[in-house]
Amino acid sequence: MVSVALRLVELTLPVGNDKLVDEVLEGLRVEEKWVLKISDDRTMYRILVPWGASGPLIDGFTKRFGNIDGYRIMVHSIAASIPGPKDEETPRDQKSRLKDVIVRRIGRISREELYLGTSDATMLTYVYLATVALSVIVAAIGLAESNIVMIIGAMVISPLLGPSMALSMATTVADVKLAMVSIRTLVISIALATTLSLIMGYYLSVDPTIPEIASTTNVGLSDICVALASGSAGALFLTIGFSTALVGVMVAVSLLPPLVTFGLLIGVGEFDLALDAALLFATNLICINLSGVLTFVAQGVRPRSWWEADKAKTLTIWAIVIWCVLLALLTMLIVLWGGFDF
């Protein structure tokens, strides 16, 4: 038996909706269903489904019952279930098999889980700012002392994945509020990182020729590929509900070293090299957001209502075009500047 991550979806409705609930469940893979009468006029349906089915299930419930008073959905991630998911032995019709294939191939957690996960990562708290500051301090010392272990440690604690993925998510679902919050968090993070690394560059002994610093002052095709892969991996891991800790390190590889190097080099007066590091950071940030948007679209992340979907489609197309144009302009600028490493 293959291990399958599960979600427990709890639906609360007024009594008398059993048949309509069963209609929504038709064609979806359901492990178990329990019906509980929690009061004289309210019923709770507890439905255990594979993680990839939770999104379509919630969409179906919201479309059918969203305007009913007393409607509420709660989603729980299941750490373990004994016995495990059952193997299907009974034949199903072609439509059901097709839906199951779609769920498995474009599997993702529910839109609400995804939204909460990304929006929480953009909250500008003291803990977030402290984490940015600590990662910058560790990265700056590691770069100045050519200490790979310290640089990797800084990337582990860097929280830059959150606002980057939230911006891609906001673009995909046309959430202007989330986009503005993400941009604000990114701008403040960049300003804080630049300021701290600039101060540290003024006091530390920084040698621009050491490999760890020199590598962040040249933009190569490999850097663009890594940044594109990082953004795609971050979005993919978010949509399937997996831990993004390791992917966060991968994203930090593309963002943290060039950003810290930019500040360090300004602190020691190496303005030309600092500009190269800034160009690498900007290129990587664009690539991460571009691939993030494309991955969210490929995973079927979109608003629920048709009018929001049309708006999101237009915004996504414009965002992809803008990111591509900016990437092309930056690449041309880097080539003209003489810093592109083929």
What are the boundaries of each domain within the chain?
6-105, 111-341
- Residue found by looking up tokens 């403040």 in the block: 188
Whether the per-residue pLDDT at 190 is higher than 90: the answer is yes
What pLDDT shows up at residue 340? 53
Rounded to whole angstroms, how far apart are CA atoms 25 and 23?
Answer: 5
Q: Is 106 helix (H, G, I), strand (E, B) or coil?
A: coil
Helix (H) / strand (E) element for 150: namely helix 148-157
Strand partners, 34: 46
What pLDDT digit, counting tens, does each position of 292-312 carry?
999 988 887 777 655 566 777
Q: Which of 64, 84, 50, 51 is nearest to 11 (CA)?
A: 64
Pull the structure tokens for residue 197: 């690394």
**Class of domain 6-105 (CATH, top level):** alpha beta
pTM for this model (two decimals): 0.74
Q: Enumerate helices (H) and strands (E) in the chain, giving the number of each.
A: 13, 6
User: What are 116-174's pLDDT values in tens digits?
Assistant: 777 777 888 899 999 999 999 999 999 999 899 999 899 888 888 889 888 988 888 88
Q: What is the CA 216 to chain-centroid distance, rounded?
A: 24
Q: Give φ, ψ of 39 to 5 degrees.
A: -165, 180
